[in-house]
Amino acid sequence: MELNNQYWKGIEEAEGQPEFVQTKGNEFHEALPLEDVLNATDLDLSSNRRDFLKFFGFSVSAVALAACQKVPVKYAIPYVVKPQGVTPGNANYYASTCLGCNTGCGVLVKTREGRPIKMDGNPLSPISKGALCATGQASILSLYDINRLANPLIDGKEEQDWTKLDTDIISKLGSIVSANGGIRIVTKTSNSPSFDKAVVAFKAKYPTAEVVTYDPISYSGILLANEQSFGKKVLPSYNFDKAEIIVSFGADFLGTWISPVEFTKQWVTNRNPKGGKMSKHYQFESTLSLTGTNADVRVPMRESKEGIYLISLYNELAKLAGTSQLPVKQNAELAGNAIKNSAKELFAAKGKSLVVSKSNNTNNQILVNGINIMLGNYGTTIDLNNYSNQSKFVEADFEKFVSELSSGSVKGVIFVGANPVYSYYNSAKLADGLKKAKLVVSTADQKDETSDLAGYVCPDNHYLESWGDAEPKAGVYSFTQPTISPVFNTRQAIESILLWAGTPAAAANAYEYIKSNWAADATIWNQSIHDGVYIKPSTIASVPSFASNLNEIATTLVANAPKGDEAELIVYQKVGVRDGAMANNPWLHEVPDPISKVCYDNYVSVSKTEADKKGLKQDDVINISVGGYSIKNVPVLIQPGQASGTYAIALGYGRTQSGKVGKDLGKNAYPFLKIANGTTSYNISGAVTIESTGDTYNLAQTQTHHTIEGRDYIREASLDEYNKNPYVRNEGKLDLVSLWEEYDYSNGHKWGMAIDLNACTGCGACVVSCHIENNVPVVGREEIRLRREMHWIRIDRYYSFYTPNEYLTKEDDINKENTDVYDNIRVVHAPVMCQHCSHAPCETVCPVLATTHSSEGLNQMTYNRCIGTKYCGNNCPYKVRRFNWFRYNDNDKFDYHFNNDLGKMVINPDVTVRTRGVMEKCSFCIQRIQAGKLSAKRENRKVQDGEVKTACMSACPSNAIVFGDMNDPNSEISKLYKNERSYHMLEEVGIKPSVSYMTKIRNVESNHKSTEHHS
Please say which residue, 406 or 852, places its beta carbon nearer to other proteins: 852
- Identity of residue 931: A
Residue closer to other proteins by CB (options 93, 546) is 93
What does each C-alpha distance from 405 to 400, 596, 606 come to in angstroms? 8, 41, 39
Q: In what order do the strands lie in the sheet with 353-357?
A: 297-300, 280-285, 245-249, 353-357
Q: Which is nearer to other proteins, 937 or 1014 (CB)?
A: 937
Q: Contact between 845 and other proteins (CB under 8 A)?
A: no
Under the criterion CB under 8 A, does residue 933 sit at the interface with other proteins? yes
- Closer to other proteins by CB, 26 or 844: give it: 844
Q: Does 1010 bind other proteins (CB under 8 A)?
A: no
Nearer to other proteins, 113 or 168 (CB): 113
Q: How many residues does the chain have?
A: 1015
CA distance 941 to 927: 19
CB of 123 to other proteins, least distance (A): 25
Nearer to other proteins, 78 or 504 (CB): 78
What is the spatial distance between Cα 423 and Cα 73, in angstroms, rounded to a whole number? 52
Q: Which is nearer to other proteins, 599 or 861 (CB)?
A: 861
Instruction: Please state, in angstroms and rounded to a whole number, the distance separating the CA atoms of residues 434 and 449.
Output: 12
Which stretches of 876-991 are DSSP H helices? 926-938, 951-955, 972-978
Question: Based on CB atoms, which residue is closest to other proteins, 921 or 1000?
Answer: 921
The only residue of 40, 71, 506, 559 in contact with other proteins, by rule CB under 8 A: 71
81 part of the interface to other proteins, by CB under 8 A: yes
Supply the minimum distance, in Å, between the C-beta of residue 119 and other proteins.
22
Verify binding: residue 738, other proteins, rule CB under 8 A. no
- Calculate ∠ Cα 202-208-211, nearest 5°: 60
Among 355, 411, 345, 399, residue whose Cα is nearest residue 378? 355
930 binds other proteins (CB under 8 A): yes
Binding residue (CB under 8 A) for other proteins from 18, 78, 628, 732: 78
Of the two residues 563 and 938, which places its CB atom closer to other proteins in the complex? 938
- Contact status: 88 vs other proteins (CB under 8 A): yes
Q: How far is the CB of 174 from other proteins (least distance, A)?
A: 35
Question: By CB under 8 A, which span of 249-257, 328-336, 420-428, 742-750 interacts with other proteins?
Answer: 742-750
Please classify residue 549 by burial: count the beta carbons closer than 10 Å to its beta carbon, then call 0-12 exposed, 13-18 middle and 19+ buried: exposed
With both helix axes pointing from N to C terminus, report the angle between 395-407 and 427-436 in degrees, rounded to the nearest 10: 50
Q: Indicate the angle between helix axes 362-374 and 306-321, nearest 10 degrees.
A: 20
Nearest approach, Cβ of residue 863 and other proteins (Å): 7
> HEC states along 373-415?
HHCCCECCCEEEEEEECCCCCCHHHHHHHHHHHHHCCEEEEEE
Q: Measure the CA dihedral 416/131/670/664, to 10°.
A: 90
Q: Are 462 and 445 in contact (CB under 8 A)?
A: yes
Q: Please identify, using beta-carbon distances, which residue of 759 and 919 lies nearer to other proteins.
A: 919
In one letter, which amino acid is 995? V
Q: Regarding beta strands 456-457 and 153-154, do their DSSP bridges make them parallel or antiparallel, or are they unpaired?
A: antiparallel
Query: How far apart are CB 751 and other proteins at their closest, in Å?
Result: 11
Name which of 32 and 934 has its Cβ closer to other proteins. 934
> Of 49, 274, 277, 937, which lies in the binding site for other proteins, with binding defined by CB under 8 A?
937
Decide: is 942 part of the binding site for other proteins (CB under 8 A).
Answer: yes
Q: How many residues bind other proteins (CB under 8 A)?
A: 53
Terminus-to-terminus CA distance in the chain, angstroms? 18
Q: Taking the complex as a whole, how short is the minimal distance between the CB of residue 64 and other proteins, in angstroms?
A: 9
> Cβ atoms within 10 A of the Cβ of 396, count?
12
**Smallest distance, other proteins to C-beta of residue 90, A:** 5
Interface pick for other proteins out of 335, 936, 986, 989 (rule CB under 8 A): 936
Cα gap 152→155, rounded to integer Å? 10
Which of 329, 938, 978, 1009 contacts other proteins by CB under 8 A?
938
Nearer to other proteins, 637 or 837 (CB): 837
Determine which residue in the list 40, 45, 65, 559 makes contact with other proteins, applying CB under 8 A. Answer: 65
- Site pattern 747..766 for other proteins (x: CB under 8 A): xx------------------
Identify which range of 75-83, 166-174, 537-545, 632-640 contacts other proteins by CB under 8 A: 75-83
What residues have CB less than 8 Å from 969, skipping those under 6 apart?
A: none
Task: Considering only the C-alpha atoms of the chain, give the largest distance between any 2 of them, rounded to a whole number of Å.
Answer: 95
| Span interacting with other proteins, options 84-92, 231-239, 258-266, 810-818, rule CB under 8 A | 84-92
For β-strands 620-626 and 751-756, DSSP reports them as: unpaired
DSSP string, 623-688: EEEETTEEEEEEEEEE-TTPPTTEEEEESS--BSSS-TTTBT-S---GGG-EEETTEEESEEES--
How near is the Cβ of 850 to other proteins at its closest, in Å?
8
* Residue placing its CB nearer to other proteins in the complex, 748 or 804: 748
Q: Is 84 in the site for other proteins (CB under 8 A)?
A: no
- Answer yes or no whether residue 991 interacts with other proteins by CB under 8 A: no
Distance of closest approach, residue 113 Cβ to other proteins, in angstroms: 10
Rg from Cα positions in the chain? 29
Number of C-beta neighbours around residue 752 at 10 A: 23
Please state whether beta strands 7-8 and 533-535 pair in parallel, antiparallel, or not at all (unpaired): unpaired
CB of 303 to other proteins, least distance (A): 48
Q: Which residues pair with 635 in a beta bridge?
A: 621
Q: Does 854 bind other proteins (CB under 8 A)?
A: yes
Reduced to 3 states (helix: H, G, I; strand: E, B; else coil), residue 67 is helix
> Per rule CB under 8 A, is residue 868 in the interface with other proteins?
no
- Mark residues 899-928: x for contact with other proteins by CB under 8 A, - for none: -----------xxxx---------x--xx-
With binding defined as CB under 8 A, does residue 863 bind other proteins? yes
Q: Is 73 in the site for other proteins (CB under 8 A)?
A: yes
Contact positions vs other proteins (CB under 8 A): 65, 67-82, 87-90, 746-748, 850, 852, 854-856, 858, 860-865, 910-913, 923, 926-927, 930, 933-934, 936-938, 940-943
